[in-house]
Amino acid sequence: MKSYILPFILLFGFSFADNIHSAEKDEVKDNKAERVETRKGNSEYKSNNYVSSEINYRKALEANSSSQTATYNLGNSLYKQGKYADATEEFKKVVMTETDESKLSEAWHNLGNSYFMQKQLPESIEAYKNALRLNPKDNDARYNLRMAQLMLQQQQQQDQQQNKEDKEKQQQNKDQQQNNNKQNKDQQQNKDQQQLQQSNMSQENAQQILDAMQQDERNTQEKVRKALMEQHKRRRTDKEW
């Protein structure tokens, strides 16, 4: 029987359950190097030496790349180091190939935790559900599932609120733009009207000037006419004398 690290990630302030099974001889797939490195990895893991445990688990996988135990335990070790994306990949390998329901449930549980830590809440929720389908008594998975669902609900509400605020802001910007356009239009109309008034005033001034010039010309002509008449009168007077 291959050794497994039991589900260790109890989220939201709970302690870890880091019980590790001893590596045992597998009569079907006996690989001494794999078992030795797995035991070393488990020992390092229990001592919280997660980097060293990762190295040992990888050596175990070099000896037997299909080892479910080394793969699962490697995922746990990676998670403990905060390498959530890498841990996710290891747990995904286990859930794709493991046939033992108990171990498969544990793998789904910790896969859900890895997704959760990456804020991939829908994927986390589905993983917890799979863990519970295989092991309905996994209260830790049930608790984590509920918390993930609540957080997803909160996230969706925040997204809806943000979308509402964004729409309101867009409407305000649209209204402001319309007001600006109206103001610009009014200003342009006022400007055009002023220019038209100035143009009319210029035309009126020009007409006044023209009228004045014409009046001056008439006055001049009248003066010339009177002067000619006076001249004519004097000539007639001269002849009479």
DSSP one-letter string for 138-162:
-HHHHHHHHHHHHHHHHHHHHHHHH
Which among 114, 161, 105 has a CA at the least distance from the CA of 11?
114
Q: What is the pLDDT of residue 190?
A: 82
Domain span at residue 134? 32-154
d(CA 109, CA 97): 15
Q: What is the total residue count of the chain?
A: 241
Distances (CA, A) of 70 to 40, 200, 233: 11, 95, 142
Q: CA 22, 86, 139: angle at the middle one, nearest 5?
A: 60
Residue 100 included in any domain: yes
Task: Divide the 241 residues of the chain into consecutive groups of 10 and give the mean pLDDT of each group.
Answer: 44 39 48 92 94 96 93 94 96 94 92 94 96 94 93 91 84 85 84 74 74 77 74 61 44
Q: What is the pLDDT of residue 172?
A: 85
Per DSSP, 238 falls in state H
If asked whether residues 218 and 121 sit together in one domain, one would say: no
Tell me the pTM. Answer: 0.65
Q: What is the pLDDT of residue 30?
A: 58
Determine the longest span between alpha carbons in the chain, in angstroms: 169
If asked whether residues 124 and 216 sit together in one domain, one would say: no
Q: CA 83, 85, 86: angle at the middle one, nearest 5?
A: 65
If asked whether residues 138 and 70 sit together in one domain, one would say: yes
d(CA 145, CA 114): 13
Pairs from 21-29 (Cβ < 8 Å, separation ≥ 24): 23/69, 26/1, 26/2, 29/64, 29/66
The total domain count for the chain is 2
Q: What is the pLDDT of residue 211?
A: 78
Is-contact 53 44, C-beta < 8 A? yes
Q: What is the pLDDT of residue 237?
A: 56
Domain boundary among 117, 134, 154: 154
Q: What is the pLDDT of residue 169?
A: 87
Residue 50 included in any domain: yes
**Average pLDDT of the residues of the chain:** 82
pLDDT tens digit string along 97-151? 999 999 999 999 999 999 999 999 999 999 999 999 999 999 999 999 999 999 9
If asked whether residues 221 and 143 sit together in one domain, one would say: no
Q: What is the pLDDT of residue 27?
A: 36
Q: What is the pLDDT of residue 74?
A: 95
Task: Answer left, alpha or beta for residue 195, where phi above 0 means left and psi between -120 and 50 means alpha.
Answer: alpha
Is-contact 106 6, C-beta < 8 A? yes
